[in-house]
Each structure stands twice: as C-alpha cells, then as structure tokens.
Chain A
C-alpha cells in the first residue's frame, strides 16, 4: 500500500465511520456527540485528501491489495479531483445532518449507528476503483438509508422506504447484470483497466466477441442503475415520497450525498466504459435530461409541502448535471468542442458539490421549522415569519437564493458553466432547459412569499428565532456558499485538471 501521506488514508477514512458507528451504538444518549465528532474527523481527513491530490488530475493516493484475483476482485482505492470533492461533500453533509438530528429521542444510538454506516458507504463508493468493492459499498449505503426512513420517518414511512429500496435495488440489479457481462467478457472488474480498454475501443470488441452485440443493452442497464439513483425522469417516482417521509436530517443525506453517487457513477463508470454507446443514445438522453430539468421544476410548483417542493427542486438541479453529462457525450473533433466539454464537465462537478451543500442546508432549515411548529411544514402553514425570526429568514433566504442560482452565491457558477458548455454542444436542449431556471425562481420566491412575508398570525408571533448554537452551526455553511460564489477557483482549480484528464480518457 502506497500513499503520499504516509498512511493509507482512504482506508482510514472509510473505516473511521464504521468504528464510530459501533461506538455510537453503545453510547446511548451521547450517540449524537459521537456522530458529530466522527464526521468532523472524517471531514478533516477528507480535506487532507483534497489537498494531497496529484497536480495533473490523475488518480492519486492509490491503495492496492490482492483480494480474490481469480474473480477479478481486488482491493483498489484511489481518488482524483472528482472523488476527493465527493468525499469532502459527503463529510460536510453528514456533519450537518448529525447536527440537525438533535431531536431524535427514539433509539438515538441506533439512529446514529445507521447514519455513520451510511457515511462509510458513501466514502467507500467514492474511493473504490474495483467494481466488486464499489458495488458492495453502493449497496451497503442503501441498507442504513432504508432503516433510517423506515424507523424514524413520517406517517407513510413504510411505503416510502419500501419504494425507495425496491426501486433502487431494481436499478442496482440492472447495473449488476451489465457489469457481470463485462466481467465475463473481459475478466476484470477494475475501473482503471476497463477505462483504458474502452478508450481504445477494445472493450466493445471484446464484449461483442464474447456475447454478441449487447453493448447498447449493457449501457442501458448501467444507465438505468444510475438514472434511478440521481434520479432522472421518469425513474424518480420513489424520490418525493422518500424525501418527504424521511426525517429531514436523513433527507439531507439522501439529497446532499446519496444522489451524488448516481452522478458520480455516470462519470466514473457509465461514460468511461460506455461512452460510445451513450453518444449513440445522446438525443434521447438529452430529451430526458431536459424533461428532468423542466418538469422537475414544474412539479415543484404544484406542491404544498415544503419537503416535497425541495425534493422536486433537487430533481431539477440534478437535471442540470444530467444535461451537462449527456451533452458532452459527443466525439471531440477539435479544440472548440473540447472547450465546450470542459466547461460542461467542470460545471457538472461544481453543481454536484453546490447542490449537495445547498440542498442539505435547505432541509436543515425545514427541520428547524418542523421542530418549532410541532411538525408543520406546509407552504401555507406559516406566513410573516420574517418578523419574529429575522435571522432565520435571512439565513434561509440566502440558502434559497443559492438554490435559485443567484450570482455571488455558490449555485450560479456551476449552472453558468453547464449552460456555457451545453449551449454549444446542443443549443436546443440548453434553450429548453433555461426554462427550468425561470420556474425554479418562481417556486423559490413563492416559498419566501408564503413563509416569510405577509402579516404574521397570532400563532407565530412568538416563533423563536435561531439561537446561538443554531447560528453557529449554520454560519460556516452560509459562509461557504458565499465563498464558493466569489472564489469558485477554490474548487475549480483542483477539479479542472481532473476534468481534462477524464475527457482525454473518454471515447465517444
């Protein structure tokens, strides 16, 4: 095992939450403290990883060991700018989520046990470079999420949890079958090897030689697995129920971090291995991406429950990622197209991070609303809250405008780069999708209008504003939104080499 840090940091960062989870299980009421401390240490480790990336954007901090060579299974870890950014994001989201979950009275030890296991699942899947290993963590993260919804969720939690689980499992099965086929044909499950094979076109030839002309079907299988997870319309129907029935801190994890597993999978597995096939289906995928953007925003406009509004709004925001990913799946002929692809891919990765941060913050605020109103979270349940709770209104307002994509806050730069890239690669889908920007703005301003403006009713005259601890918890998040909005190079400078590197490996 080699690493430029001196110890196998990727193994440590994945093992840490597992250890924390076991400790939490046996620490009763102080489990939340264990979770907060664990995720704080994890965040520090993730930042160490972030600052120790190879400058050329390739995969670094590699750890390799034999596992089951006859089955193509190997312990192979490593991260590039994309993986490291996802580690940081997962750590931040878990930390915010653990902080928000201060009202879990029923079996807090079990709750935080699952939360930390979920974090381990995220870390594992963002660092694995072997399919078997990756798939293990991909599935592992599903189980704690299922129980978190099932045991601590809202009134319809049973149905929501089942739907979530079955649906994602179905996607995973499709993914697994596709990958089994690839393994049968090539004898390897290593992402790096397979990407290498695909970049020369050898992968397609080998698979076709062994199994016949199945490559497009395998691509569809892989896409299905990720389309469910992201989600892409129409594979999203599990999402509104799961997001709204899950307790808000769990929703933060689902939207902030787990949805990124899907986008990450598209970038780490689908495009590298099946780029050629995806380029062949590009038009249809772009149609679905544009539908996801526009109809996601529009469906949000019809909702009355704040969590469902933000759930659909998440669909819309991740739709921009899909748009960028599918738009760039085009054979690069010349530097102009490469520049467009680089813009789109940088935008996608920025958008992954920014959406995770902002969506987690929004659900954090919803959790706070629920906590102060005995579980109310309807669009029309409040009104005029700006008067009794000006700080709350101000900070949530910033998070809302970040979600709206206001320049100066984090959301804007990613969306700008995505549109910059997509417009030249597929101007029709870009022109249709800008409608999503408009509708999202309408949805978000409606939320502000109904919740914070208008006369304050007697019921909410004494609505408590955010107290010191809450301000302390949210201030860094809001600060980060502004920081990234003004200095996106903090992220882009490390992501851009990876983008260049990835684009050079992909063959469309």
Chain B
C-alpha cells in the first residue's frame, strides 16, 4: 500500500495531529472486537466499550489542552494531516484529519458525554439479552461520530456520516422484534438519505470544481480563499453561484441529519430506540452532526457575503432553522410521551442552532450545540430513569409526584429543564440561547426569525413546565410503585446536571472564553459588558419570556394531577388547535399521501411497463420473426434446416436430457435466427461487392 503524504511548507502539521485518528479508531476497534463477543460476555463488552471511550476521551483531552496552550501562546490554530487514499487518472482522492479549536471542542464534548452515556447504559440495559450487541453498536457509532468531527476531507466526513447513519438505524431498530421499531429505523435511514443524496451531489460538485476533497491544505483546500474565490466566479443556475448551490446541497444533507424542516419526521419516531440511544445519538451528538457540518463548511456558506452581512445560503439556513424552532416547539406542547416531548424539543433546539449559525456565525451556533448536548442528554437520561422507575411507562399522564420517589433523578432533571427553558443567569441554556436571540435581534435582512424564536422560547419554557408538572408534581397516577434508579444511572445525571448549570459561564458577554478560543483571539474580562443597556434589555426580555412560559405552565398544570383519561387543560380550552398540534400538523399523513403514495404507485407502473410494454414488444418481435420464417419456409427447409436439425438430433439423442428439451421451441427460434443471419449476411456481402 502506498500512502503519499503531502508535504508543504505552509502546511502546519504538529506533533499531535498525525495521531488524531486514534480518537475515532479506538471505539471502532472496540466495536470490531465487540462484534466477536458471545451474548453472555456482558462484562467484557461493557469494559471494552467504556475502556475505548475513556481512551478516546484522553486523546481528545490532550488535543484540547494542546489547542488551548497553542491559543495562549498565539500559535496558528489549525493543524492538518492529509494523505492520498488512491488516484484516478492524474487526480487524487485525499483524506485527512484536522485539529482546530472547533474539532477539539467538539471531540471533547462527544467523548465526554458519550462516556457518561456508556456508563449509564450499563444500568439501563442491564436486563437486555443483546447487551453485548448494544455496546458494539454504541462503539461503532462513537467511532463514526468522532470520525465526522476530526475529518479534514469532505469525503471522509461523508463516509463517517453514513456510518453514523447506519448505527443510528441499527440502534433505533435495536428491539427489532417490535415492528414499530423496525419501521422507525427504516424511516430514519431513508429520510436522512434524502438529504444525503443532495449532500453527495454537493460533494461531487465541490470536488470537480475545486479539484480537492480536503477542507484545508495549505491554501489548496476547498475552504480556503483561492478555491472559494473560484467558486464565487462560477455561475450555476437561477442566478446562483456555484458556491451558493453547493452550500445549499450540503445544507440539505445537514437538514436531514439534524431533523430540520421538512426532513424532521424521522427524529420523533427514532424514540423507539432504547433511551441511552436517544440521549447519545438523537439529542447530543448525531443530530448535532448536521450543525457541525455547517460550522465546518461555514467559509463556503459565508463566501461572498453582501452588504447586509449575509449570503443566500446563510439566509436559507436561518429561515429553515427559525421555522423549525417554532414549528417543533408547537408540536412539543401537545405530546404525552415523555420522550417524544423531548424529541420535538430537540428538533426545536436544533433549529435554534441552525439559525444561530445562519445569523451569528460559527461561535453562536456551536455554543448552543455544546450546552444543549449536556442538558438534553441529561434530560433524556433523566427520562430514561423515570421510565425505568415507572416500569417502562412513557405516558406522562400516568406518572406524577415522582419528586418524592426519585429525588436523585428529579434534581438534575430540574436543572436540565431550567437550562433548556433558558432560565436567566444561572443556567447554561440562558447564555447560549440568548446569544442566538441577541444576534437575531440585529439581523439585517429581517426581524421575523427573531420573533419566531422568541415565541419558541416561550413555548419551550411552557412545554417543559407542563412535562415536569405531569411527571414530578401532583400525585402518583401510575401502576405499582415507582422506584429510584441505581447509582450507575443517577451518577452520570448528577455530573451532567453540574455542567447544565456551569457550562454557560464560558460564554457570557463579560467573559467570552468560548468565542475567543474558537476564533483564536485574545481573551479579556470585560465586566462593562454587563453594564451595557443591550444586556439589560436582553435579560429583561428573557426573564419575561421564561417567566411567561413557566407561569402559564404552572397555572395550567401545576399540582393539578389530572386523571390520565381527562382531556388536557389546553385541549379543553382549544380542542381544534390541540388536535392539530397533537397530530403534528399532519405532516406524516401528508407525506404518506404524496411521496410514499407516489413511490408505491410508480413502482407498480415500473412493474407494469416491464411486464406489459417491454415484454409485449418482445413478444411482438418474436411473432414477426416467426412469420418471416414461415414465409421463408422453402429457403429454410432447403438450406438451413437439414444441417441444423441434424445437429439438434445429435444433442437430443445424447442421453437423459432428451425428454426435457424436446419442447422444440428453441430449435425453431434458432432456425428463424439462422435464416435472419444468412439473409443479412448475404445482403451485406452483395452490397459490399457492388
């Protein structure tokens, strides 16, 4: 195998970056070994997965410290390691990985949250017979996800992206004996594949335009100035530049993975998977991969920004994100399944992240991604703990009063809930969400996304209050006795709860550590930022927004403990609107009667064409040939038939085959064909001798 390393004087390759592959490779290797384990080797499976993840966390931590140290000493922030995978013609297909603040922060988050969820899974999946298989899939997922994070090649990123999609499919359908789980898995894979098909087109377009698959390659990468300038010069269709068109194609892939409108339909159904899967894949990491992808190709999305500081691609990202944020928050209000509420909440928050990227840039979007990963995985794992404690019950109406039975779940859950609601000052979600709202407030093209996201913020506080009231307040309405979960599950909750509160402090206006780190700029403590009027307006708005949501929620649901059969408080007030929200705006039904119906109908058309039209044409041709041969019977019998029948007779008398091939049809067809050949050959020879 020959691997050609690109060496270039301008290419920064530090001592660490060549080893970065270890981060995804460790879990992948663990998955490989895990696949060979027997069903009974549960301890080995868990140790293998957790051990490899710890190793990855260690490497990620080293990489992160390295980046922080480099930032402090003003070194160039980006190091890459590229190599040629193979060559075609005189071009090369190159892969590589990169270490920059973005990939270092993301890798640290994924490995850390991932490790906690791995540990939690040991408790949650303790009773499952396919325990070893579960950890094998989880490890493979972590490997794929970390591969996405460190890729410096859009092809390598896509390959890992698809592996992530595969493991998501495998894990949603983990309880494959449930038809609903199998259907949800298929739906997830296919819906995201719709986006991936566009993404693939974007990749091949980018590759053929720029001649490289690498993001950064010492000035020759596709995200670097020369390539971007060339892409801006290249017109595509409808007045768009190639840069915009490629950016939009890539965004389609990101929208599929990150559950943006109109490809969000798979994410709520994905809750059929075990709850740790929902926490790891469908809250913290995989669904954030789309956001991360846009952050990674942000130079392309932002290339050629106009006077208002935005581009067509970023404007699309913003509108889709804001619409998704509001739309999903509305649906979340009227759900009764504890995990589905969180699922729609995730869709909504992913919308915030996308809008944050579109409006405020990489830092704003990524900050919410990171804080959200912590508090949303906390909420999912808390929900898992609740489900576990309530004997696999998922309907919030059949719970209640759990703050007494499950205090160790309740406290972190409350922290996560307040973080998600954006409760001012003391919770991480406040800082990250307000950074998005703040930039939306100043977005030149339009203020509508701002109002959409403010409305969504009210709804967020409202539906979370509703959920917490149903689950933890009032009186117990379920069957049997609820019980607290084991320490292996509550421990990770406590750790995540800690971060749900504190993580916001790395991104306050006064001490914007995260921004300075990602942008590689000096960091100063600027207490005067708190003294500016803009901050106080924002704080006041946020307080009103959160207070409104919390207050409304508590007013309608607090300590009411309605019976499970009773209509919801909102349903009584507005039954029509409730039905629309409960049925998710009928989007699934709409797709059912349009795309899926067309798919099935067109499949039948394809089959009919095959059997009737093409098959019929062939039958006709054979008839015509037969007719011709009958007309030429004389010629046939005199010249060809004799020799041909003789040889056929020889075959026929050759043994036991006789009885089977004496249909006589083959021979006659051959006869017709032979006649045709002779006639045509005669014409040819005759015409050539003219």
Chain A positions within 8 Å of B, measured between CB atoms, are 107, 110, 146-147, 150-151, 158, 161-163, 165-167, 169-170, 173, 176-177, 180-181, 184-185, 210-212, 233-234, 236-238, 240, 295, 298-299, 301-303, 335, 338-343, 346, 384, 386-387, 394, 401, 406-408, 412, 416-417, 419-420, 423-424, 430-431, 434-435, 437-439, 441-442, 445-446, 448-449, 452-456, 487-490, 492-493, 496, 499-500, 503
When the two chains form their complex, are residues B684 and A184 in contact, meaning their CB atoms are under 8 A apart?
Answer: yes
The reply to whether the CB of B581 lies closer than 8 angstroms to some CB of chain A is no
Q: Is B681 an interface residue (CB 8 A)?
A: yes
Out of B86, B617, B669, name the residue touching A166 (CB < 8 Å). B669
Q: Which single member of A233, A419, A424, A442 contacts B614 (CB below 8 Å)?
A: A233
With an 8 A cutoff between CB atoms, is B622 at the interface? Answer: yes
Complex CA distance for A343 and B89, rounded to whole angstroms:
7
Q: Which of A177, A301, A384 contacts B684 (CB 8 A)?
A: A177
Chain A residue at minimal CB-CB distance from B32:
A482
Q: Is the CB of A167 within 8 A of B618?
A: yes
Residue of A nearest to B661 (CB): A150
- Select one of B91, B660, B681 contacting A339, CB under 8 A: B91
User: Which residues of chain B are near A452, meaning CB under 8 Å?
Assistant: 176
Cβ of B688 under 8 Å from chain A: yes
Answer whether A423 and B201 are a contact pair too, CB < 8 Å, given A211-B688, A301-B603: yes
Flag if B85 contacts A488 (CB, 8 Å).
yes
Q: Are A170 and B166 in contact (CB under 8 A)?
A: no
**Interface SS of A by simple majority:** helix
15 contacts between A and B (CB under 8 A): A150-B660, A166-B673, A170-B673, A173-B676, A177-B677, A184-B684, A299-B603, A301-B600, A301-B603, A338-B90, A407-B163, A419-B204, A453-B185, A454-B182, A489-B2
CB pair A420 B673 closer than 8 Å: no
Q: Are B685 and A295 in contact (CB under 8 A)?
A: no
Check if A442 sits within 8 Å of B599, measured CB to CB.
yes
How near does chain A come to B331, taking the closest CB pair, in angstroms?
A: 26
Interface of B is mostly: helix
Residue in contact with A240 in the complex, picked from B166, B610, B665, CB distance below 8 Å: B610
Determine if B89 and A338 form an interchain contact, defined as CB atoms under 8 angstroms apart: yes
Q: Are B177 and A401 in contact (CB under 8 A)?
A: no
- Distance of A489 Cα from B93 Cα, bound (Å): 10
How far, in whole Å, are A439 and B197 apart by their CA atoms in the complex?
11
Please tell me if B640 contacts chain A, counting CB pairs below 8 Å: no
Q: Are A406 and B162 in contact (CB under 8 A)?
A: yes
Give B581-612 interface residues, CB cut-off 8 Å to A: 599-600, 602-607, 609-610
Contacts of B177 in A (CB 8 A): 384, 387, 453-456
- The answer to whether A412 touches B89, judged by C-beta atoms less than 8 angstroms apart, is no
Minimum distance in angstroms from A475 CB to a CB of chain B: 12
Give B144's nearest chain A residue, CB to CB.
A408
A234 proximity list for chain B (CB < 8 A): 613-614, 617
Query: In residues 51-107 of chain B, which contact A (Cβ within 8 Å)?
Result: 85-91
Residues on B close to A: CB < 8 A?
1-2, 35, 85-91, 155, 158-160, 162-163, 166, 169, 173, 176-177, 179, 181-183, 185-186, 189-190, 193-194, 197, 200-201, 204-205, 207-208, 211, 599-600, 602-607, 609-610, 613-615, 617-618, 622, 656-657, 660-661, 663, 665-666, 669-670, 673, 676-677, 680-681, 684-685, 687-688
Interface pair A342/B91, CB less than 8 Å apart: yes
- For B676, what are the chain A residues with a Cβ–Cβ distance below 8 Å? 173
With A240-B610, A299-B603, A302-B604: A158-B663 Cβ-Cβ less than 8 Å:
yes
Find the A residue at minimum CB distance from B3: A489
A420 and B207 within 8 A (CB): yes
Q: Which chain A positions have C-beta within 8 A of B166?
A: 401, 406
Contact A408 B159 (CB under 8 A): yes
Given contacts A211-B688, A237-B614, A240-B610, contact A340 B201 (CB under 8 A): no
Q: Cβ of B665: which chain A residues have Cβ within 8 Å of it?
A: 158, 162
Point out which of B181, B208, B680 has the most chain A C-beta atoms below 10 A from its C-beta.
Answer: B208
Q: Is the CB of A454 within 8 A of B179?
A: yes
Which residues in B have their C-beta under 8 angstroms from that of A177?
Answer: 677, 680-681, 684
* Pair A343/B91 contact, Cβ less than 8 Å: yes
Q: Which residues of A contact B189 (CB under 8 A)?
A: 441, 445
In the bound assembly, the distance between CA atoms of A401 and B85 in angstroms comes to 22
Hey, which chain B residues are within 8 Å of A341, CB to CB? 89
- CB-based nearest B residue for A234: B614
- Whose C-beta in chain B lies nearest to the C-beta of A174? B680
What residues on B are CB-neighbors of A430 within 8 Å? 201, 204
Pick from A107, A151, A303, A499: contact of B89, CB under 8 Å: A499
Question: What distance in Å separates the Cβ of B191 from its nearest Cβ neighbour in chain A?
Answer: 10
Question: In the complex, how many angstroms separate the beta carbon of A158 from the nearest chain B beta carbon?
Answer: 6
Q: Are A453 and B88 in contact (CB under 8 A)?
A: no
Given contacts A177-B684, A438-B197, contact A151 B657 (CB under 8 A): yes
- Given the known inter-chain contacts A162-B666, A302-B604, A446-B186, please indicate yes or no for A295 contacting B173, CB distance below 8 A: no
- In the complex with contacts A166-B622, A343-B91, A449-B183 CB distance below 8 A: yes
A240 to B614, CA, bound (A): 12
Q: Cα distance A496–B86 when bound, in Å?
A: 10
What A residues does B186 contact at CB under 8 A?
Answer: 445-446, 448-449
B598 to A: closest C-beta gap in Å: 11
Once bound together, how far apart are the Cα atoms of A95 and B615, in whole Å?
33
Q: Which residue of B lies closest to A184 (CB)?
A: B688
A423-B208, A434-B197 given; 20 more Cβ-contact pairs under 8 Å: A162-B669, A177-B681, A211-B688, A236-B614, A238-B618, A240-B610, A298-B603, A298-B606, A299-B603, A301-B603, A338-B89, A339-B89, A419-B204, A431-B201, A453-B176, A453-B185, A455-B177, A456-B177, A493-B2, A493-B87
- Report how far A487 CA is from B95 CA in the complex, Å: 12
Q: Which residues of A contact B89 (CB under 8 A)?
A: 338-339, 341-343, 346, 496, 499-500, 503
Nearest CB of B to A313, in Å = 13
Question: A-B pairs with the 9 shortest C-beta distances?
Answer: A342-B89, A453-B182, A407-B159, A302-B607, A301-B603, A489-B86, A302-B603, A298-B606, A299-B606
Q: How far is the CB of B518 from chain A (nearest CB, A)?
A: 29
CA of A438 to CA of B256 in the docked complex: distance in angstroms? 13
Q: Is the CB of A407 within 8 A of B190?
A: no
Give every chain B residue within 8 A of A416 (Cβ-Cβ): 155, 200, 204
Chain A residues with Cβ under 8 A from B85's Cβ?
488-489
Distance, CA A165 to CA B669, complexed state (A)? 9
**Whole-angstrom distance between the Cβ of A288 and the nearest chain B Cβ:** 12
Contact B673 A169 (CB under 8 A): yes
- A147 CB to nearest chain B CB (Å): 8
CB distance from A282 to the nearest CB of B (A): 19
Taking a contact as CB atoms under 8 Å apart, the answer to whether B87 and A237 are in contact is: no
Q: Is the CB of B614 within 8 A of A184?
A: no
Given contacts A165-B666, A295-B606, A499-B88, A340 and B176 within 8 Å (CB-CB): no
Whether the Cβ atoms of A299 and B176 lie closer than 8 Å is: no
Q: Find out whether the CB atom of B618 lies under 8 angstroms from the CB atom of A298.
A: no
Q: Are A299 and B610 in contact (CB under 8 A)?
A: yes
Closest beta carbon of chain A to B602's beta carbon, Å: 6
Question: What residues of chain A lie closer than 8 Å to B197, measured between beta carbons?
Answer: 434-435, 437-438
Measured CB to CB, the nearest residue on chain B to A236 is B614
**Of the candidates B2, B88, B190, which one forms a contact with A496 in the assembled complex, judged by CB atoms under 8 Å apart?**
B88
**Within 8 Å CB of B614, what residues of A?**
233-234, 236-237
**Contact flag A420-B204 (CB < 8 Å), given A173-B673, A185-B688, A342-B91:** yes
**Chain B residues positioned under 8 Å from A167 (CB to CB):** 618
Shortest Cβ distance from B165 into A: residue:
A406
Look across to chain A and name the residue whose beta carbon is closest to the beta carbon of B197: A434
Chain B, Cβ-Cβ closest to A441: B193
Output the least CB separation between B114 and chain A (Å): 20
Give the CA-CA distance A96 to B234 in the complex, in Å.
50
**Across the interface, do B677 and A176 meet the contact criterion of CB distance under 8 Å?**
yes
Residue of B nearest to A170 (CB): B673
B158 near A437 (CB under 8 angstroms)?
Answer: no
Which residues of chain A are near B86, meaning CB under 8 Å?
488-489, 492-493, 496
> Closest approach, in angstroms, between the C-beta of A430 and any C-beta of chain B?
7
* List of A residues within 8 angstroms of B162 by Cβ: 406-408, 412
Max chain A Cβ within 10 angstroms of own Cβ: one of B89, B190, B602, B670: B89
